[in-house]
Amino acid sequence: MATRLTTAARRGIARPKVAHRARRAGREALTSAIPLLLPALAIYALFSLLPIFLTFWLSFTDSRGLNTSASFVGLSNYGRAAADPIVWQSLVHTFQWLLGHLLMAGGLGLILALAVSRLRLTRVVFRTAFFLPHLVSLAVVGVIWANIYDPFYGLLNTALDRLGLGALSQGWLSDPLLVLFSVNVASSWQGFGLYMLLFIAGLQNIDHSLYEAAEIDGANGWQQLWYVTLPGLAEVMTFVVSLAMINGLKGFATVFVMTNGGPFYQSELITTYIYRLAFSMQDHGLAAVLCVLLSTLAIGITVVFNHWRGRLAR
């Protein structure tokens, strides 16, 4: 309290020269900030920012890989990207993937968080167990789920057969309409745990008295969920949504392991196409264009979302 008074007093005295003082304070802050920021920024600039800028430069060249001479070709790679139907297809898939990840991983996280929060005795057990898939690396997730989805010997189709639901068995990874969804389920299995933990924490922060008040007003369970719980989760929700969108956009490993974009490009994401362009086809120029596209998308989504979130908060 005393501190607050002192600062207020100081501010009051300083008011006539406020602009000048602010500038000086800013400079002072900068001098203290530099040594604290330097370790992080030095590493980050060298191993992340520099490669990002080099990629940008590559997108204007005809580079075909290591040690080959690359010359400046202007916007021709951008023209090729625009004319390549697979680029457009993979762009659509990337948005479908992102949305699927948001709904499946985010949704499952929310539902399980709501259910787990109702537990007392066994809460920790369930919370811990549900988080386990998140500990598995995505490459391993791909190997496990490719075996689960095997049309002839897989866990899923075999289980359906045994349950007498053989009619439901599918070519989970061969059907053009199913494949992206199937891989996304595997990816969401790995991803939902983190979102669930965040939602559980958000639920703990909701004021209990709100529920009591709602009870007195005669609200049933659904109404409590709708009018108390979900609004109370708004802040966590925005955090989870932004995290899930970024993770969705970065989706790569499960598709790479399970289908490598196939069959016939039906599960191609921008990231998997970049990888094959660079490593199989040695077309580094076009790959770089797609990197630029992906980065632009990521930044665009983040900015738009933050803007929307800011307006919502107001």
Partner 1 sequence: MLRRTLLASAAAVLATAGLASGAQAQTLVMWGPEQITEPLIAELWNGLKADFEAANPGVTVEFMPPTGTISNGAVQSAIQSNAGPDVILTNSGIARVTTVVDAKLVAPLTAAYAERGWDKQIYPWLYAELQRQRGGEIYEVPDGLDALGVWYHKDMFAANGWTMPATYAEFLDLLGKIKDKGIMPIAIGPRTAGSAGHLFGNMLQSASGSEAVGKAVSGELSWTDPSMVGGAVRLRELVDKGYIDKEMAALDLDGAARLWFNKRAALFVAGPWFTANARKAEYDLANAGYAPMPSDLGPGKPTGGVGWSWLVPANSKQPELAMKWIDFILSDAVMKKRAENAASTMIYPRALDGVNPPTAILGDIFAAAAAGVGYNPSVYLPASVVDTYFQVIQGIISAQISGEDAMAQIEAKMAEVK
Partner 2 sequence: MSRRRSELPAFAALLPALLLILGPFLWLLMSSLKSEAEIGQANPFALPKAPMWQNYADAWQIGGFGDLLVNSLFNLAGVVLLTLITCAPAGYVFAKLKFPGREWVFYLVIIGLTIPVQAIVIPLYQVLFNLGLINSLAGITLAQVSNGIPFGIFLMRSFFAGVPDELVEAARIDGASHTQILGRVMLPLATPALQALVIISALSTWNDFFLPLVILISPEVQTLPLGLVRFASTYSTDFRLVFSGTVITFLPVIILYILTQRRFTEGLTQGALKG
Judge whether 219 and 163 are in contact, CB under 8 Å.
no
Distance separating alpha carbons of residues 90 and 8, to the nearest angstrom: 56
Q: CB-side exposure of 16: number of CA atoms within 13 Å? A: 1
Instruction: Give yes or no for residue 223 binding partner 2 (CB under 8 A).
Output: no
Residue 171 interacts, among partner 1, partner 2, none and using kind-specific CB cut-offs from 5 to 8 Å, with partner 1
Instruction: Give yes or no for residue 116 binding partner 2 (CB under 8 A).
Output: yes
Distance separating alpha carbons of residues 148 and 133, to the nearest angstrom: 15
Judge whether 117 and 211 are in contact, CB under 8 Å.
no
- State which of residues 205, 226, 231, 234 lies at the interface with partner 2 (CB under 8 A): 205
Instruction: Give yes or no for residue 48 binding partner 2 (CB under 8 A).
Output: yes
Could you tell me what percentage of the chain is helix, strand and coil, using 3-state DSSP and rounding each to the nearest 5? 75, 0, 20
User: Is the CB of 222 or the CB of 264 nearer to partner 1?
Assistant: 264
Element counts in the chain: helices (H) and strands (E): 17, 0
Residues that bind partner 1 (CB under 8 A): 64-68, 146, 149-153, 171-176, 179, 259-266, 276, 278-283
What minimum distance in Å lies between the beta carbon of 120 and partner 2? 6
Residues 120-159 that bind partner 2 (CB under 8 A): 120-122, 124, 126-133, 135-140, 143-145, 147-148, 150, 152-155, 158-159
Instruction: Give yes or no for residue 281 binding partner 2 (CB under 8 A).
Output: no
Residues 284-313 that bind partner 2 (CB under 8 A): 284, 287, 290-291, 294-295, 298-299, 301-302
Peptide bond into 85 cis (omega under 30): no
Residue where the block lists tokens 């304070």: 25
Closest CA to 114 of 224, 246, 20, 7: 224
What minimum distance in Å lies between the beta carbon of 10 and partner 2? 9
What minimum distance in Å lies between the beta carbon of 160 and partner 2? 12
- State which of residues 102, 173, 274, 286 lies at the interface with partner 2 (CB under 8 A): 274
